[in-house]
Amino acid sequence: SARVAGVDAPRSIGKRTGRLLAIVIVIAIAGCDRAKAPEPQPQPQVAATSATSASAPACDAGSLAVPQAAPKRVVAIGDLHGDLAATRKVLRLAGVIDANDAWIGGDVVVVQTGDQIDRGDDDRKILDLFDRLRDAAEKSGGRVLSLLGNHEVMNASFDFRYVTPGAFTEFGDVNANVPRVEGLEPLQRGRAAAFAPGGPYASTLSKRPVVARVGDSIFVHGGVLPKHVRYGLDRINEEARVWLEGNRGAASGPPPRALAAEDAPLWTRMYSAAPGREECATLDETLRLLGAKRMVVGHTPQKPSIAPACDSKVWRIDVGLSRYYGGPVQALELRGDEVRVLTEEKPLP
């Protein structure tokens, strides 16, 4: 996949410690007719992960492969990286929370494309905020859908290279009988207990998808390639869920090897770095297989603004809005076929 100087990249799978192992949590379309997109049918507004077995067919209601009726308004938010102040700003920009962080978005669907953590001190506060908003939005007929990013999986793999001292301290009260924690520095143990497969925050992450469909748009942290579709997406989803939940003794080992790839949906920059004709052709094939119009991705900071590519078939929404990067506060709004960038107005000096 494309490389971007100065940003994180996965380590070699062969390293014993601190592996970066990309997790793919998506919905299978194995067995679907890939020659043409299925005819639109009335469906639930959002299709994300499925807890069904790996062999379950996926060409049914709610499948990622089936076009759905789009919500009236969808707001997509990119990487947050441990900055609660910026997180609040972008949620208020979207009009979905008030000054007290209470949900006021009604039936709006918010999709946050992962990397809520690392590089800032507020990881736990952000994770907890999105869980609270998820519950509140559902009561109002809306939806807050947080996706997994590569940094969430890095932490579940005990790769703490991008964790700040303050973000370690946030989890100091978490205790769990987790293998390997004893070998870590005391400051790291609470966070490790929280994010280790089977730990409280890993269990929360196990319920978050990597790829979700809202209407005719596909949302993912890095990108979906045709080979991810053909591999059997529900199969990968099940393996990832089991690993994060800590079943099959997974708390002492890495995720399944099939999920660890530099070009996995959490890691690929094919569409977000500098896509050319070849990359756009790959995107076209992926969207055709999924019967979708566009893909929305994070993972790679864009300057100076959210940017479309490939004839607006992909929207790159990571603008580095956290304090670490110093980018603008922006979000992407979708209303039917209308797509526009929401930007925080800067006060005059």
Q: Choose the weakest-confidence range: 92-96, 178-182, 202-206, 215-219.
A: 178-182
Query: Has 151 been annotated as catalytic?
Result: yes
**Per DSSP, which regions of 48-174 are E strands?**
74-77, 109-112, 143-146
More confident residue, 230 or 252: 230
Whole-model pTM?
0.83
What is d(CA 21, CA 341) in angstroms, rounded to the nearest whole number? 32
Q: Which residue has the higher pLDDT, 271 or 63?
A: 271
pLDDT reported for residue 52: 33
Which of 151, 221, 228, 299 does the annotation list as catalytic? 151
Residue with the bigger pLDDT between 316 and 206: it is 316
Please provide the distance, in angstroms rounded to a whole number, between the alpha carbons at the two ends of the chain.
42
Assess contact for 70 and 216: CB atoms under 8 A.
yes
Q: Give residue 18's pLDDT band: very low, low, confident or very high (50, 70, 90).
A: very low
- Cα 1 to Cα 13: distance, rounded to the nearest angstrom: 16
Whether the link from the prior residue into 209 is cis, omega within 30° of 0, is no
* Opening angle at CA 338, ends 46 and 69, nearest 5: 30
